Structures are given as C-alpha cells and as structure tokens.
Amino acid sequence: MNEKKDTPPTILMIELDDDTRPLLKQNLYNWGYRVLMALEEEDAIAIARGVRDHPDLILLNQIKLPIDEFVNMGRRIRQGAELPSNTPIVVMAERYGEDMEGKDIKVGESEYVTYLEDGEQLMNLLHRLCPI
C-alpha cells in the first residue's frame, strides 16, 4: 500500500456506468485520492502499467455480472499490471438484500465486497485499506 509518498494514494477505478462515473470520481478526489479511470479490464491493466505511481487500490463497481467474476477481474488486473499481491481490491455490490446493507465482507487475502448503505461507508473502508 501507499508508504509516505509525496503524492496522494492512487485508486484504479473500473466503472461502466456513465452516470455514476463522474460522481464517484469526484467523491474519491474530494476524499484525498488520485483516481485512474478505466472502462474495462484490458484498459485497467494498460493504465496501471503505464503510470509511475502504481495504484494503491483497485475499485470495481459490480454491474450485471456476479460478484465473484468482479473479484476475479480485480485479481487479473492486479496480476496483469504486476501490482503487489497485497494491493486491496474492493467490489461495490450492485444489488443485495437489506440483511447485507452496510456490510463490508473480506472475501480473500486482500479482496473485499462492500454492500453500501451510504458514501461514508465506502470512504471509511477506503481510508482503512488505503490511508491518506
């Protein structure tokens, strides 16, 4: 993860929704993060490999496909971009029942699924995994 760099921590975000993308990017920026945007897996790998300061966290917004496919996508991006194996991956779940709302579930060594209740929950999780 980010260790006392002069630049803010970097989040590589994969967001397919045109309406959500600008708002989420602005929120991440307001929370103190640098944001790299990608629309698909191959772009995310190329972007992460092409920057000097590699991403400190991978953030994916689940759309249509099952959560495990997004977790695996994050793992492929991390591996393809040659990021450290402990680089956190966070998947924001698309649809879920009230019983899951507000929970952050660790699904692997450094992979998480968040069932968002509000933006503050995401901010707290990101700050815990990728401190400013």
Spell out the domain ranges in the chain: 10-129
CA 92 from centre of chain: 8
Contact present, 11 and 57 (Cβ < 8 Å): yes
pLDDT of residue 5: 57
65 vs 93: CA distance, rounded Å: 10
* Confidence category of residue 44, pLDDT binned at 50, 70, 90: very high
- Higher pLDDT residue, 35 or 119? 35
- Say which residues have a Cβ less than 8 Å from residue 38's Cβ, sequence separation at least 6: 12, 13, 14, 44, 47
Looking at the chain, the whole-number percentage of residues with pLDDT higher than 70 is 96
5-16 mean pLDDT? 87
Quote the CA–CA distance of 13 and 83 in Å, as a whole number: 15
CATH number for the domain formed by residue range(s) 10-129: 3.40.50.2300
What is the pTM for the complete model shown? 0.91
Six token digits for residue 4: 């006392």
Average pLDDT over residues 1-25: 80
Indicate if the pLDDT at residue 102 is higher than 70: yes
